[in-house]
Amino acid sequence: MMVTLSVRLRPRLVESRLNNIEKGEKTEREGFEPSVQLPTHAISSRVPSAARTPLQVCIAKPRCGRVEYGIGFVANVKEASLGRPRYANPTLTGLLVVDKPLGWSSMDIVRRLRRVTGGAKAGHAGTLDPLATGVVICCLGKATKLIDSLMGMTKVYEAGVDLSAFTATDDREGPREEVTVEQPPTREVLLEVLPRFVGEIDQKPPAFSALHIGGERAYKLARRGEVVDIPSRKVRIDAIELMDYAWPIAALRITCGKGTYIRSLARDIGIALNTGGHLSSLRRTAIGAYTLEGAFNEERLQQPIGEGDLLPLPGNATASSQPVSDGNQSNDSAAH
């Protein structure tokens, strides 16, 4: 299997424009062309060893000022990095708790951290939707090996549930589907219904979610108007506390395990009450022992971050040891 790419010559570099390649076929992605840079001289021997093993690079004779070469296996093509370290600050290691601002994605935080740390390797341990705020644990350097364990920790949320309407997205981002409620439920009725959702329950994820359906994100299918049917799955909810209630908003504090969709919980509570139900607000206040206390806010993320700003790895965990968890890790993929 060979994929032929065209590259243009430059004084010291050859820049190849490479679209996403799946199963040996080149597929077009409009408006986006990620690039990989390789030395012009002795390409086959100068590609970093991590990429050279799966990559079979061959140079054909120039034609009209261009060079063509083929690659056999492209899984590690992103590792071809001119022989320089992939990260400018690879030694920075530790954890950082961030209070995610409204409107930011979790990856927005990661990209910001890479800049303010001078190019450290960074990742996050659990996604928050852009319309949510609160705790996101960021892992830097070798601490990224602990991401799976951190994602398995118990989470605490404060959620506002609007019982007056459903939405296609199960939050306030989607258009409202108003419902007629002749008699709004009382506080006592809510207190009777909420315990039904405590324990190990079957939960159907939202159609607008990042889960994969046939190799594609569910939300992409839903945005195209396609019918998205995601099967229910087991999730664990440890506690639901009714903090306040004034029709149509119920303020809840939810303690739950990995993979729980609070949007789905809001929808299902509405169904159980014969009302509407969607998430009007969401704030994550804790992941395991990591809370909002001392979390970095948006303003602090504008300033440089160094070793002294980071938290140590949890317990006796090291970057090379088996990651530790709080004992509540699940096999479900993390999503909220």
Task: Find the catalytic residue in 99, 129, 162, 268.
Answer: 129
Single-letter code of the amino acid located at 242: L
Distance CA(265)–CA(206), nearest Å, equals: 10
For residue 113 the two structure tokens come to 């951290």
Residues 300 and 310: their CA atoms lie apart, in Å, by 13
129 is catalytic: yes
Distance separating alpha carbons of residues 206 and 58, to the nearest angstrom: 47
Give the tokens for residue 128: 């928050």
Place of tokens 């704030």: 283
Rounded Cα gap, residues 147 and 120, in angstroms: 16
Could you tell me if 218 and 246 are in contact, meaning their C-beta atoms sit under 8 angstroms apart? no
Give the phi and the psi of residue 334 in degrees, each rounded to 5: -80, 135
Positive or negative torsion for Cα 84, 89, 94, 95: negative
CB proximity list for 250: less than 8 A, separation 6 or greater: 160, 161, 163, 190, 242, 244, 269
What residues act catalytically? Answer: 129
